[in-house]
Amino acid sequence: MSEDFLKLSDIHITRAGKTILHIDHLHIQSGQFVNIIGTNGAGKTTLLKVICGLLKPSAGSVVFNHILINSLNPWQKSNIRKRIGYIPQSTEYNSELPFTAREVAAMGRTSIKPLLTGLSRADYEHVDFWMEKLGLNDQKNQTFRSLSGGEQQKVLIARAMVQEPLMLMLDEPTSNLDFNWKLRISRIVRELHQQPGLTVLMVSHEISSIPVNVDRTILLHKGGILADGNSEQVLTSAVIQDVYECEINIFETEGNKYVFSRELSRQ
C-alpha cells in the first residue's frame, strides 16, 4: 500500500453559523485516482480549496505531502501549492484575452520558477513536449480564445502538467463539453494518471457516466462524506436515489456505468 499523500482530520468549515463542510477523516494515497462527486452545493469545490490551502478550516488539520499546511504563512502555503496542477471551471479564467495556447501552457512554469526570473529555453522545451503529447502542435500559436472548449481544456491540462505536479486537481473538467470531448478529456486524464506517483483528484457533479479505472469514488452530500470506496460500493441505486432525490436506472456495459433518471428513460 502506498503512503498517505493527503490527510484531512476533523475538518470543519462554517459560514454564518452553518456548517458547509465537515470531514472527520480522509486519507488519500500517493498515485490514487479519486473521483469526488455530489450534488450542487455538496461541498466539492470547498473541499478542493481546503486541500490546496485556499480556504482555512475553522477546525481540523490538512497534511499535504507530510507537511501540515494549516500552520503555514501565506508565502509558505504558496510554495506548497507549486506542485498542485489545478484545472479550474471555465468561469475561473479569462478566455477573452489574446494569449496564445503556448503562452497559456507556459504559465505552468511560472509556479515553479523563482520570482524575478524569466523562462529559459529548457522551460519552453518542456512546454512544447506537453503540447505535442496532448496533440496541440497545430494550435500552439493560435490564440486561446479562438480554440474550441475541448481544445482549451487540453491547453489547461498541458499548463498543469508543465508544472510537474505531484497532484492534479480537476474541477468539473468536462462540464461544458459535448459528448465526444467529454470522452476525449476523460481518456487524457486516465492516461496522465499513468505518470509515476501522480495523484489525481477529479471533482464532478455528473454521474451519468462514471469513468473506468477510478481507484476510488467519494460521494459528498450536504458537506459530509456519505460514501467512500470503489464505484460499485458507492454508486448503488439506493444511495443515488437518496442523494439526487429522483428514481434512477443504472446500466453497466464494458466496465462503464451509466446512470439515467427513470423519468428521462421513459421519455
Partner 1 sequence: MDPFFYLIIFAGAVAGASTGFLGVYIVGMRMPFIGTCISHAAMAGTIFSCLLGIPPTIGAVTFSVFSAMSMAAIPPDKSRLDTNVGLAILFSFMLGLTFLGIGLVESSRSEILGLLWGNILFVQRKSVLAITAIALLLVLFGTFFNKEMKVLLFSRSIASATGVHQGFVYCLFLCLCGITLSVNLQIIGGLMIFSLITNPAAAAYQICRGHRAVVIAATLFGVLSTVSGFLVSFYFDLPTGACIVIVSTVIFALSVLCRLLSNAKI
Binding footprint of partner 1 on the chain (CB under 8 A): 49, 52, 54-55, 74-75, 77-86, 88, 92-94, 97-100, 103-104, 107-111, 113, 115-116, 118-119, 141-143, 146, 159-160, 163, 169
Q: DSSP states of 87-125 as a string? A: E--GGGS-TTS--BHHHHHHHHHHHHSPTT----HHHHH
For the bound state, the minimum distance from the C-beta of residue 86 to partner 1, rounded and expressed in Å, comes to: 4
Tell me how far apart the 2 most distant CA atoms of the chain are, in Å.
61
For the bound state, the minimum distance from the C-beta of residue 5 to partner 1, rounded and expressed in Å, comes to: 17
Q: Which is nearer to partner 1, 128 or 210 (CB)?
A: 128
Q: Where do we find the cell 453497466?
A: 252
Q: Which is nearer to partner 1, 74 or 196 (CB)?
A: 74
For the bound state, the minimum distance from the C-beta of residue 241 to partner 1, rounded and expressed in Å, comes to: 33
Rounded Cα distance, 25 and 34, in Å: 15
For the bound state, the minimum distance from the C-beta of residue 63 to partner 1, rounded and expressed in Å, comes to: 17
Q: Where do we find the cell 439515467?
A: 260
For the bound state, the minimum distance from the C-beta of residue 157 to partner 1, rounded and expressed in Å, comes to: 13
For the bound state, the minimum distance from the C-beta of residue 169 to partner 1, rounded and expressed in Å, comes to: 8
Rounded Cα distance, 142 and 80, in Å: 32
Q: Where do we find the cell 498515485?
A: 31
Buried b (16+ CB within 10 A) or exposed e, 203-217: bbbebebbbeebbbb
Q: Which is nearer to partner 1, 18 or 266 (CB)?
A: 18
Q: DSSP states of 191-248 as a string? A: HHTTSTT-EEEEEES--SEEPTT-SEEEEEETTEEEEEE-HHHH--HHHHHHHHTS-E
Q: Which is nearer to partner 1, 192 or 243 (CB)?
A: 192
